[in-house]
Amino acid sequence: MIRRLIALCVVIGSEAIAEMKKVADLDYVGNGNPRQMLDLYLPKKITEPVPVVIWIHGGAWRQGSKKNAGRVLRVAEGKYAVVSVGYRLTQEAQWPAQIHDCKAALRFVRANAKKYGLDANKIAVWGSSAGGHLVCLLGTTQNDEVLDGKLGPHVGAKTSVNCVVNFFGPTDFVKMDAQGSAMNHNAASSPEGQLLGGVVSELTQKAKEASAHYHVSKDDAAILTVHGTKDRLVPYVQGKAFDEALDRAGVSSVLLTVEGGGHGNGFGPSVTEAVKTFLQRQISGKEGKGKDRTVKAGQ
């Protein structure tokens, strides 16, 4: 029975991808680095410019692939174009290379919108874990001269986005280690330490620069944060405190708490529907902000 369910999930995922036309390995910087490329998935029939969802993968900034875009493709349902971005990992480059790559990819998408039938004025970004960290920064450092970087042929294009879907991304490296986790986030050998290049507590200013929490302002993009209360890698309080900071700044922010959910585990149909609704409201012109709420793991 379990094998049949797994097979069914694979078929459903394949069908979602099959409905889209894939343009693979677009070089958004122009230097041939395989880590600085993106895949573009387009609805087969485009009669007018379509909104875009940009997916940033997770993997502790040291692993992961743009090939793993199944979740966002299923949510897109052919209504949105999907862009899955590769970026340099910490084995190759340290902070701020990762956000510079993501900003360059965003500029590439905006600059090539007309060519591919995309709506450059309706762009959402979505990421999980390390990808959640990066999309939160995309939403809180829009058109930032320092963090935008100067990669690629489209320097000068806007780096603003309409909204952010943050799946359990770390947003405050300074406080993370004291908030309860299965790992020592302060150590130089931790994912955060490898990203920043040393012991996190000895790199406070760099840690703040790399933390969306310290960039929050009233001009930020709308943000949906989804976080499990039993996340053993990125403490739940990271998502909660970030949402509260956004609320105080007057940003349109929604926190979806997954009671009993782990680091992506237990994210059921309610989470999928919440993401769909959020995207409809933010980039498809639907009214309403949405409210913070809690769902049980698996529901």
Outline where 68-157 has alpha helix (H). 70-76, 97-111, 113-116, 130-140
Look up residue 66 and give its two tokens.
């743009």
- Cα 240 to its chain centre, rounded Å, is 17
Alpha-carbon span 51 to 159, nearest angstrom? 16
Residues 6+ apart with CB under 8 A from 78: 19, 20, 43, 44
Evaluate if residue 288 carries a pLDDT over 80.
no
* pTM for this prediction: 0.93
Nearest to 131 by CA among 166, 96, 105, 107: 166
Q: What are the tens digits of pLDDT across the range 90-111?
A: 999 999 999 999 999 999 999 9
Helices (H) and strands (E) in the chain, counts: 10, 9
What residues does each domain of the chain span? 2-296
Evaluate if residue 19 carries a pLDDT over 90.
no
Amino acid present at 170: P
- Write down the pLDDT at residue 89: 98
Amino acid present at 248: R
What is 2-296's CATH number?
3.40.50.1820
- Write down the pLDDT at residue 183: 86
Residues 6+ apart with CB under 8 A from 31: none
Strand 37-43 relative to strand 20-27, pairing? antiparallel
Q: What are the tens digits of pLDDT across the range 163-205?
A: 999 999 999 999 998 898 888 999 999 999 999 999 999 999 9
